[in-house]
Chains A and B, each alone.
Chain A
Amino acid sequence: MLFNTPLFFLFFSCFFFLYSFVFLKRYPRLLLILVGSLIFYAGWNFRFIPLLVFSGIVDYFVANGIQNESDNKRRKLYLAISIATNLGILAIFKYTDFAMQSVVDLMGLFGYEASWTMLNFVLPVGISFYTFQSMSYTIDVYRRDMQARKGLLTFISALAFFPQLVAGPILRARYILPQLELMPSPTWSGAKHGALLFTVGLFKKTVADLLAANVDYAFDGAGVSMIEAWTGVLAFAAQIYGDFSGYTDMAIGTGMILGFKIPLNFRLPYFASSPADFWRRWHISLSSWLRDYLYISLGGNRNHRYRNIMITMLLGGLWHGAAWTFVVWGFFHGLIIIATHFLGSIKSLQWIGESQAIFIRFFKWAVTFYLVLIGWVFFRAQEFSDATNVLLSMHGMADVEAVATALLTFWLTVAALAVMHLIDWVVIRFSKGIENRIWLFWPLIFVFQFICFMFGVPSNAFIYFQF
């Protein structure tokens, strides 16, 4: 079930009605959230519901085991069970074929031929999100950052909570569990803000889908001219931003309409002034998860900082997909973060990092944006050869003539990217003001909803669902 479909509209209308008018006590509401979330998930494949519940049950009991255990070795053993279970699920469903294929390819390099049959498992939607979410609970309890909870139903409901179930944000237990324990009711201000975010998200998703053809044109095989390559890469930057941030805006909006608070997942990422700054703005719930549970566990800034950055970014890349192009994307981001840290550590260059001069700020933004775009080439390309072709075209090293519409398409793409960020900036900056002015709020919602209804294709899935 996608947020941008008529089925979700029907589902959410019914859910909201039951939540607001029929199930008024905490426990019935909890049951409603659980059942509703599982129905929502079953919209893709009901056969994977047991996997989600299994992950939740294991972590619930493991967390209580950790809580009740004073022996450090046993606590570690419990934690290992949780991590092994979650990463095991991920490994089996997401990475087995990738690992097998990589071994086959490697053997091929040395002249050995292996004819292994790939498992071709269907990737359960949202698996990368809910396993990380579930693991964060046991790690937090292990670190004594939070108390283990009594109430299996609450924990499973938190894990399955439908607004964020399939594509995040990765909602940590310490954030969502207290809300489910208190069980909020809708508020008018929350509903208005939720409606605004949902509408903005839907609009961004609609624009992102319209850009898909430009992306395909640049990346799918045949060579393209310089301007078409730039159009394709910019279009992908806009598409993935509109698609993913649009989804999380809709998730946050849906939660807010019900009275829940879900943290911001994007903060104008293409305004970033350094690669590290980009990751503080892009998919914040993942980058902060990786920082808190992986980077810091590896030693953080204290020991082997550059190694820790590279391992974190490599695994972050691999989290996105089981393909070497994602690993290279992660490696590339690791490399540019390390490079900027290294340059920042050179005394004679430190003024650049500190300078607030417009030219310097623009320079830092332009370099960062360029590097992020280069990264997206690896992220989007199906094969390294496609990535190489696009990179060569971007830098004027392909002898291909542009179609007559190329320049117009380029500027339309730039406009789409700018409009998305402009809207987000307005919402971050002025949402309260908009929501308090009825004459502005309702017409705005109406216009955006109308555009989405006209042109929003409900059959277009979200890119991040495949992760």
Chain B
Amino acid sequence: MPSSISSSEFENQYQTLDSNSELKVRFKTLLGGLFMFALVVGLYKFIASNIPMNARVLEMMDYVPTLVAENPQRKKVMVFGTSMVQAGFEPDQFDAYFESRGQDIVSYNYGVGNLNPEFQQYVTAHIRRELEASGEMLDLSLLEFNPFQTTKSRNVLGAITRDQNEAVLLSLNELWEITLQNPDRGFRLLNIRFFREGISAELLSSIFTINGPVNFDAPDPEYAAAEERRNEMRRAFLNTLPDGSNPFGGIWSIDRRGGRLNKSQLSEESLDALYDYAESFVHPALMEPDLQRRVRQGDILGLDFEERLVQAFINMVNDLNAVSEHMEVVLLPRNTDWVVYTPEVQEKLDALMERVTRETGVAVRDMQNHPQITPEMFVDTTHLSFALGIDTYTRVLAETYADVLSE
């Protein structure tokens, strides 16, 4: 480092106010910076707009105001939860059940994956705000309690998506409040929402980390074979579809009200291929790693609950209860071949459910061991199958709540 810089030396090296550097230079600098920013953001948006990262939850939320307005005379049912609801409840079949009994019911699948209660509560708060503003109520709302989404492990895992989920799910007013309290964080969230298409850098960069989602380990040969067969069955099913469409897309569509696959529109051949595809999931070589992943990421067998997530779930119950004529918390069916609780874990879960009822006044319905749902009806250790599982469980739900909806 030079020991000092003299004024004359400095004047030689730099233009000063006296030499009055041209206005053009300053304009060029400012515009150059802004142009580069626009170019970078533009290319990023172009790429990211093809990644439907938050598409389902955003469309779910967007549709809330019209959900009531479009169906003023019909009884409205909302089943809210995680990907287990997304995979396990079919609104078309549910509504058809009641139609056959002469009842006009419209139901919605508000299940979405990768959100623990900390983030789900932003969605239920939004639903509550919108419905309260319209002065309307849901006739029945069922809120899934997903035990392994409420654990300490899940809370740790959620940290990586915290900024992203808050940026996308919070209202603009809430974001503005955060910005006033903590400008740095607020602008970060606004940046994710408006410039990054709702995808945080944390999520993108996590693919490079040593313990991140990318696994370079060579897969077990049995696993590889089972996976190959599953992919083969998937291709075979998709090939039977006339328009080459993908009915498994994660987008929440208004037409299907959150449902995934309308089986009544499938040909015999497609249905057969679909059942073969569903069957190809049920293989120990696929199930075991799936269970281990959920043990690691969600503590699915130990259920060490995280208080802040429990509290968030209680907030959700209160939100939906405030805008529902009838509401229940539901524990969805469990794949009892793989997810086996010890008596201590079951006790912990029971105690928590009692607490939810005590603090909210909302009943809990435990369908984890429902006799009509068998382990063959799952595609992995937690999700109901898009073949038998979803049909059976939708019917079970319809039968269970038929009395409530007849009132």
* Complex contact B1–A285 (CB within 8 A): yes
Q: Mark B199-232, 1 if CB is under 8 A from A, else 0.
A: 0111011001111100011100000000000000
Q: A16-B30, A183-B17, A191-B29 are in contact. Are A146 and B4 (CB under 8 A)?
A: yes
B25 in contact with A187 (CB, 8 Å): yes
* Chain B residues whose CB sits within 8 angstroms of the CB of A217 once the complex forms: 210-211
Q: A191-B25, A458-B188 are in contact. Are A185 and B20 (CB under 8 A)?
A: yes
Residues of chain B within 8 A (CB-CB) of A195 are: 32-33, 36
State how many angstroms separate the Cβ of A192 from the closest Cβ of chain B.
Answer: 8
- Is B183 interfacial (CB 8 A cutoff)? yes
Q: Are B2 and A214 in contact (CB under 8 A)?
A: no
A92 contacts the other chain (CB 8 A): no
Known: A9-B37, A404-B216. A174 touches B28 (CB 8 A): no
Measured in the bound complex, the distance between the Cα atoms of B63 and A39 in whole Å is: 42
Contact pattern, A 177-199, Cβ under 8 Å of B = 1, otherwise 0: 01101111111101100010000
Option from A6, A17, A210, A450 in Cβ contact (under 8 Å) with B188 = A6
Task: State how many angstroms separate the Cβ of B194 from the closest Cβ of chain A.
Answer: 10
Chain A interface residue number, banded = 35 or more
Q: Does A160 contact B (CB under 8 A)?
A: no
**Residue contact A182 to B39, C-beta cutoff 8 Å:** no
Residue B403 CB within 8 A of the other chain: no
Query: Contact partner of A458 among B17, B39, B201, CB < 8 A?
Result: B201
Residues in A neighbouring B41, C-beta threshold 8 A: 453
**Nearest B residue (CB) for A453:** B40
B188–A456 CB distance below 8 A: no
A400 → B minimal CB distance (Å): 15
A257 on the B face (CB < 8 A): yes
A31 within 8 A of B: no
Main SS class of interface, B: helix
Q: Is A366 an interface residue (CB 8 A)?
A: no
Partner of B25, one of A179, A188, A446: A188
Query: Chain A: which residue is nearest B208 at the CB level?
Result: A210
Tell which of B8-16, B240-248, B321-329 binds the partner: B8-16
| Contact, CB under 8 Å: A214 / B210 | yes
Q: Does B26 contact A (CB under 8 A)?
A: yes
Pairwise interchain contact B33-A13, C-beta atoms closer than 8 A: yes
**B43 CB-CB contact with A under 8 Å:** yes
Q: For this complex, into which size category does the number of interface residues on chain B fall?
A: 35 or more
Of B34, B188, B211, which contacts A13 at CB under 8 A? B34
Complex CA gap A404/B219 in Å reads: 11
A contact residues around B23 at 8 Å (CB): 21
The answer on a CB contact under 8 Å between B1 and A178 is no
Q: Is the CB of B16 within 8 A of A182?
A: yes
Name the residue among B2, B187, B200, B217 with the largest chain A CB count within 10 angstroms.
Answer: B187
Which of A187, A213, A284 meets B210, CB within 8 Å?
A: A213
Q: Which residues of A sit under 8 angstroms from B36, Cβ to Cβ?
A: 195, 442, 445-446, 449
Whether A16 contacts B29 by the Cβ 8 Å rule is: yes
Which of A16, A145, A261 makes the CB contact (< 8 A) with B13?
A: A261
Whether A178 pairs with B5 at a CB distance below 8 angstroms is yes
Residues in chain A near residue B30, CB distance under 8 A: 13, 16-17, 20
Determine the distance from Cα of A24 to Cα of B25 in the docked complex, in whole angstroms: 14
- Judge whether A175 and B15 touch: CB under 8 Å: no
Determine whether the beta carbon of A457 is less than 8 Å from that of B44: no
Question: Which A-chain residue is minimally distant from B6 (CB atoms)?
Answer: A178
Q: B43 touching A450 by the CB < 8 A rule?
A: yes
Partner of A457, one of B26, B184, B205: B205
- Which residues does chain B contribute within 8 Å of A261, judged by CB atoms? 5, 10, 13-14
Set of chain A residues within 8 Å of B204, measured between Cβ atoms: 454-455
Contact between chains at B29 and A257 (CB < 8 Å): yes
Identify which of residues 145-161 in chain A touch chain B, using a CB-to-CB cut-off of 8 Å: 145-146
Q: How many Å lie between the Cα of A381 and that of B135 in the bound state?
A: 59
Is B21 an interface residue, CB under 8 A from the partner? yes
Assess whether A2 is interfacial by the CB under 8 Å rule.
yes
Closest-CB distance, B296 to chain A (whole angstroms): 14
Say whether A263 faces chain B, with CB atoms less than 8 Å apart: yes
B residues near A334, Cβ cutoff 8 Å = none
Q: Which residues of B contact A190 (CB under 8 A)?
A: 14
Q: Are B4 and A181 in contact (CB under 8 A)?
A: no
Is B21 within 8 A of A185, CB to CB? yes
Map CB proximity to A onto B170-210 as digits: 1 under 8 Å, 0 otherwise: 00000000000001110110110001000011101100111
Say yes or no for B265: interface residue by CB 8 A criterion. Answer: no
In the complex formed, the residue of B with least CB distance to A185 is: B21
Minimum CB–CB distance for A181 against chain B, Å: 7
B1 CB contacts on chain A under 8 angstroms? 172, 175, 263-264, 284-285, 288
Known: A195-B32, A210-B209. A186 touches B26 (CB 8 A): yes
For the complex, give the distance between the alpha carbons of A431 and B181 in Å: 41
Once the chains are docked, how many angstroms separate the CA of A456 from the CA of B7?
Answer: 39
**In the bound complex, CA of A184 to CA of B12 (Å):** 11
Q: In the complex, which residues of chain A have a beta carbon less than 8 angstroms from the beta carbon of B200?
A: 457
**Cβ of A408 < 8 Å from any Cβ of B?**
yes
Contact with A5, one of B6, B15, B29, B184 (Cβ below 8 angstroms): B184
Assembly CA distance A179 to B7 (angstroms): 8
Q: For the complex, is B163 an interface residue (Cβ under 8 Å from A)?
A: yes
Q: Which residues of A contact B43 (CB under 8 A)?
A: 450
Chain B residues, Cβ within 8 Å of A70 = none
A56 within 8 A of B: no
- Does B3 make an interface contact (CB < 8 A)? yes
Q: Which of B1, B32, B200 is packed against the most chain A CB atoms within 10 Å?
A: B1
| Interchain nearest-CB distance for B18 vs A (Å) | 8
Tell me the bound Cα distance from A398 to B26 in angstroms.
Answer: 59
Residues of A within 8 A of B37 (CB): 9
Cα A185 to Cα B217 with chains together (Å):
56
Which residues of A1-58 are within 8 A (CB) of B?
A: 1-2, 5-7, 9-10, 13, 16-17, 20-21, 24-26, 43
- B34 to A259, Cβ gap below 8 A? no
> A interface vs B, CB < 8 Å?
1-2, 5-7, 9-10, 13, 16-17, 20-21, 24-26, 43, 145-146, 172, 174-175, 178-179, 181-188, 190-191, 195, 209-210, 213-214, 217, 257, 259, 261, 263-264, 284-285, 288, 292, 403-405, 408-409, 442, 445-446, 449-450, 453-459
Q: List 18 A-B contacts (CB under 8 A).
A: A43-B184, A185-B16, A185-B21, A186-B29, A187-B25, A191-B28, A217-B210, A257-B29, A261-B10, A263-B1, A403-B210, A405-B217, A445-B36, A449-B40, A453-B40, A453-B201, A454-B44, A456-B201
Give B contacts to A, CB under 8 Å.
1-7, 10-11, 13-17, 19-21, 23, 25-26, 28-30, 32-34, 36-37, 39-41, 43-44, 163, 183-185, 187-188, 190-191, 195, 200-202, 204-205, 208-212, 216-218
The 7 residue pairs across chains A and B that have the minimum distance between CB atoms: A213-B209, A20-B26, A6-B191, A174-B4, A7-B187, A185-B21, A191-B29
Q: Given A187-B25, A445-B36, A457-B202, 9 more contacts at CB 8 Å?
A: A6-B188, A6-B190, A10-B187, A172-B4, A178-B10, A185-B26, A191-B32, A409-B210, A450-B44
